[in-house]
Structure 1
C-alpha cells in the first residue's frame, strides 16, 4: 500500500476500482510523465449520484459528488501507474463540470469537493490549476464530472 493510500485509509476513504469507460474512449492516456484522466462521474454507495444543482440537489450533495469523482480520478491514476499510486507526483489540473440550473453560480464551491480532497491528501502536490463550469446536463444525469491532468514518476 502506498503512502497516499495509507493517508486515504486514515481519512476513512478507499479508492474504487478504476471505472470502465462508458463509450468509445479510454479512461486515461499516459504520455511520458503525464497522465490525462478522462471525465469521471460520481458513484456513491447507492449507485450514480444524480441530480441538478439549483433544482433537486444541494451544494453539499454536489460537494460529495465532486469528492467521489476525485476518488475515481485517483483510481485511474493508480491504474495508469500499474497499481502503484505512490508514483503520483502532483495534480496539475482539474476540470469540473456541474449539472446545474442557469441561475446557479456556486460551481467553484461544488468542485472544491474534489480540490479539497486532493490538497488534503497530497498537500502542496495536490494544489492544481482548475476550471469549474456549469452544464445544462451531464451524462446519465449525474451531478458532477471531473477530469484531471497529473504528473507521475
Structure 2
C-alpha cells in the first residue's frame, strides 16, 4: 500500500486515539511470536460508549458504525503493541465480533461488516481476515458491539 497505513487512515479522516487502558484485571494485548492478540474493544467514539441492542432500539447501519469504532480501537491497541509503528502490521488474521442483540435478530454479520469493511478500506489486502460474528444477550455497559482481534506483525 502506497504511503503506509497511517497515511491511508488520514485519507479516510481517521485519527487513532490513544489505546485505552483495560477496564478490569486483564491486559489490552498479548504478543506471542509474530501474533498480537488484542482484547475486546467496545463500541465508543468521542462522545463515549455507543450503547444499544440490535433488533430492539438500534438499526443495522448504526450497529455497523459502532463496529467500525471497535476496529479503530483495535488498531489503536495494535499500534501501542508495535511501539507506535503501525507499519509493522503484516495482516489482520481474525476478528471475533459480539453483537448485543435480541434473540430473533439474525444480521450479526451485517453489523460486524462495519469493522471488516473499514479494515479493508484502511489497510488494503492486509486488512482481509477470517471472522466470526455472534449474538450476545448483553455486553458490558450495554454497548452495542465488542470485537477482539488477532494480528500478524513483523
TM-score where L is the length of structure 1: 0.97
User: Match of 1:137?
Assistant: 138
**Residue aligning to 1:80:** 81
Q: Work out the number of aligned pairs and report it.
A: 152
Matched residue SS, 1:130: strand
Mapping of 1:11-90 within 5 angstroms? 11-90=12-91
Separation in 1, partners of 2:81, 2:5: 15
How far off its partner does 1:38 sit?
0.4
Following superposition, the deviation at residue 45 of structure 1 comes to 2.6
Q: Secondary structure at the match of 2:124?
A: helix
Name the residue aligned to 2:92.
Answer: 91
**In the alignment, what sits opposite 2:102?**
101
How big is the shift at 1:19? 1.1
Structure 1 residues without counterparts, runs of 5 or longer: none
So what's the TM-score if we normalise by structure 2? 0.96
How far 1:115 sits from its partner (Å)?
Answer: 0.3
Give, in whole Å, the separation in 1 of the partners of 2:94 and 2:84: 21
List alignment gaps of at least 5 residues for structure 2: none
Deviation per CA, 1:57-85: give whole Å up to 9, x if none: 11111001100000000000000000101
Deviation readout 1:63-118 (Å, 9 max, x if unpaired): 01100000000000000000101101100000000000000000000000000011
SS, match of residue 133 in structure 1: strand
Look up the SS of the partner of 2:37 in the other structure.
strand
